[in-house]
Structure 1
Amino acid sequence: MALLFRTGRDNGAMDVDLALIGFGGATSLLLSALDRHGVRGLRIAVVDPGERGMRTWAFWTGSEDPLDAVLDAAWPRVDLHGRGGLRRLDLAPMRYAMVRSDPVYELAAEAAQRLGVRFLEASAQGLFDNGTGVSVHDSAGTEIVRARWALDSRPAAPVRAGRTFWLQHFRGWWVEADHDAFDPASAILMDFRTPQPARGVSFGYVLPTGPRHALIEYTEFSPERLSDSGYDSALSAYILMLGLKGLRVTRVEDGAIPMTDAPFLRRPSPRVVRLGTAGGATRPSTGYTFSAMRRQADQIAAALLAGSDPVPAAPYPRRHLWMDSVALRAWDRGLVAAPEFFERLFTRNDPVRVLRFLDGLTSPAQELALMASTPLLPMTRAALGDLAARTQRNRTVSAAIRPSR
């Protein structure tokens, strides 16, 4: 993508209202949201080294969406393959949607032009907050931006280690068939017929964008990534299992997303706000991030339009993070098989309610019904184990900070 708003560094530091650190998904969505909400009159700078790869985001959405013009595809129904066989899930009035990063970046670039954004091609190495503003320094230690607020979307380590740390790691092949091989009206959301790892869960995705084009992906939830050959072998075996032939791989993408109950510091200092995964946008039990990043962007834009501080709400309720911690513990300790967990969750509940839960949008009453559909005894054991681990950690922290006599 050719950046449409690019300048060199001015002599001396640039004074702005907002410094956006990094130009990935979170910042792109924020720029589009600022433009869409009609935020004007702010001095904005984006600080980014200018290197980014193509990636794909999948998310749940309604019957209409601001990204409709650039979606690769959207499906009103999805298939789930599990022990109970094939289940077709009707998502109406919602859809499962997919969009590649390049058009999202292009929309952000167009929004940035209308907003008068300045782009600094630099790596931000230091953010120094004095309580009334933030000084942004580059890799040479030079102050390049002075901002009232810094919104930082760079990866960051959690505050402390969690009780469970897994990854959602994957490799996807964009393929082209020499004949009509896919149903564009339906996607395979989770296919648990893949060989399951000794510790963790694996599944396949098939996301068609046309009769002859699709993204086919192999995903694992587990503690460690595979080798390149491991992903390629798993994808080849999955395609063979699907009976697909005559496919040509046109592009490859892969990645790893943290799945952990470790807490992330969403506001490390008074005027620095973190976005994306570092800002808690990744759902610990699934690795889904895109929808929460969009909520963060819209909340910040609405706050700025109202003259308030650009600080979004917590992406997920605390009770959801607790439930995710319990689920991760149950899978990690082998108390519950993740394929069974997800199959029961989707097939014993309204799929739309499940999707809303995964986005953190359900009520406590709805969540009780969802929890009742999961294996109760092993999940109770996991909850008690999580409580014991939390209690022990609190005692350890209390002992560490207790003053000596």
Structure 2
Amino acid sequence: MIDVDLVLVGGGGAASLVLAAMDREGVSGLRVAVVDPVHKRGQDRTWAFWGEPGGFLDPLLSAAWDAVDVVTADGRRTLALHPLRYAMLRSAPLYELAGAAEQRLGAVRITAPAGAVEDDGERVVVSGPDGEPLVRAGWVLDSRPRRPVRAGRTAWLQHFRGWWLEADRPTFDAGSAVLMDFRTPQPRRGVAFGYVLPVSERFALVEYTEFSPAVLTGDAYDTALRDYCALLGLDLGALVVREVEDGVIPMTDGVFEARPSPRVVRLGTAGGATRPSTGFTFTAMARQAGRIGRELAAGRAPLPGPAYPARHRWMDAVQLRALDKGLVDGVAFFGRLFDRNPPERVLRFLDGTTSWREDLALMSTSPLTPMMRAAVGDAFERTTKAVESPFT
């Protein structure tokens, strides 16, 4: 068993961002290990996010847009995002950046699945599934998926399938991205939309997404995508599906245990980086990785801080309840949100960076009566559960 200062359990997006942040902040003198059964390389996912230009990820981006479209049956809104922009990052360049950082840090790679993580308050032992110790460390950053430690009052999913479509002639508008297109048929309980992220005139990601309580069958996603492509006027007979991306992300007000023991910190969705109201994760994950890098460079504990303010988690819980109970129409809700607020304010709220004043302005543009009913219902359930289970 090797002995190190820091172990990253899991080697996906969250761990890659931490490695890149450590390298960027000039962390040195730490013994680092990465435990993952697969050494991530190449293209296995795409992240889309918004932020200000000029960050360290800029050279890695496949595309970026200064404006995006939101489409409903009533028409198309083009949202100017300045000073933000919407960006697309494919996994391969991030994995390459993390790999280079791993080498410069002198990290040890343990290509094996992790099992138990046991913390005695001073050191942590990471074992394999068979119980055999793999590595001992001062700190563990664990990005493996986990269920909430306490179930939420609402448990939905963001689930999707996307096709990377290639054409042999100019087909897509590379300067125009569709953030949400609500003209897709809507599920009985939930919200559905398509979106289009073109990398060039001949290559684009076209995706169908649902916010709802349960996933679909594979055939249902393909049918929805074919129908959406027809709605866009795309001739699938003239296009080639180069890649397929699937995903399921929790949308829940359940509580994720970000720090299960003194020297173990969870990252990514398991650490609360997923926004309950939308399923968006990447920006909070990158923000927390940056904080970890700075803390380590300063010789402090690698603690990322909360992904979102507590008031935002409460607002998300109320929104989820309103959608789940059918108190608001999902398409109308999101359309109204973008119609009555500056796009930059909405996007920063979804990233968890708006002020109290901006949050109040956002709440004032929502349908007040149904949202108040949702807030009262949420408060009642919180109180009831606290009385029933005072120690949870």
What is the DSSP-based 3-state SS (H/G/I as helix, E as strand, rest coil) of the residue aligned with 2:389?
Answer: helix
Counterpart-to-counterpart distance in 1, 2:73 and 2:357: 28
Partner of 1:35: 23
Q: What aligned pairs does 1:278-289 form with structure 2 within 5 A after superposition? A: 278-289=270-281
Look up the equivalent residue of 2:214 and give its one-letter code: E
Partner of 1:391: 383
Partner of 1:184: 174
The answer to whether residue 65 in structure 2 is matched with residue 75 in structure 1 is yes
Counterpart-to-counterpart distance in 1, 2:231 and 2:169: 18
Give aligned pairs, total. Answer: 388
Determine what percentage of the aligned residue pairs are the same residue.
Answer: 59
The answer to whether residue 124 in structure 2 is matched with residue 105 in structure 1 is no
Structure 1 unaligned segments of length 5 or more: list them: 1-12
Q: Identify which of 204, 208, 216 aligns with 1:218.
A: 208
Q: Residue 348 of structure 1: CA displacement?
A: 0.9
Counterpart-to-counterpart distance in 2, 1:156 and 1:350: 35
Partner of 1:123: 113
Q: Identify which of 300, 305, 311 aligns with 2:303.
A: 311
Look up the equivalent residue of 1:356 and give its one-letter code: R
Structure 2 unaligned segments of length 5 or more: list them: none
8 A Cα contact 2:163 2:243, kept in partner: yes
The answer to whether residue 151 in structure 2 is matched with residue 161 in structure 1 is yes
Counterpart-to-counterpart distance in 2, 1:147 and 1:63: 37
What is the DSSP-based 3-state SS (H/G/I as helix, E as strand, rest coil) of the residue aligned with 1:125?
Answer: coil
Greater than 6 Å deviation, 4+ residue runs: none
TM-score, length of structure 1 as denominator length? 0.94
Worse overlay, 155-164 or 193-202: 155-164
CA deviations 1:135-174 (Å, max 9, x no partner) are: 1111221111110000000011111211000000000000
Counterpart-to-counterpart distance in 2, 1:104 and 1:185: 23
The answer to whether residue 42 in structure 2 is matched with residue 50 in structure 1 is no
8 A Cα contact 2:191 2:210, kept in partner: yes
Look up the equivalent residue of 1:210 and give its one-letter code: S
Q: What aligned pairs does 1:281-360 form with structure 2 within 5 A after superposition? A: 281-360=273-352
Counterpart-to-counterpart distance in 1, 2:305 and 2:363: 25
Counterpart-to-counterpart distance in 2, 1:203 and 1:26: 27
What is the DSSP-based 3-state SS (H/G/I as helix, E as strand, rest coil) of the residue aligned with 1:299?
Answer: helix
Counterpart-to-counterpart distance in 1, 2:142 and 2:347: 28
What is the DSSP-based 3-state SS (H/G/I as helix, E as strand, rest coil) of the residue aligned with 1:124?
Answer: coil
Look up the equivalent residue of 1:172 and give its one-letter code: G
Counterpart-to-counterpart distance in 1, 2:341 and 2:32: 45
Partner of 2:359: 367
CA deviations 1:317-373 (Å, max 9, x no partner) are: 000000000000000010011111111111211111111100000001101101111
Look up the equivalent residue of 1:316 and give its one-letter code: Y
Partner of 1:26: 14
Counterpart-to-counterpart distance in 1, 2:39 and 2:376: 45
The answer to whether residue 30 in structure 2 is matched with residue 61 in structure 1 is no
What is the DSSP-based 3-state SS (H/G/I as helix, E as strand, rest coil) of the residue aligned with 1:198?
Answer: coil
Q: Residue 389 of structure 1: CA displacement?
A: 0.7
CA deviations 1:272-307 (Å, max 9, x no partner) are: 000000000000000000001101101111111111
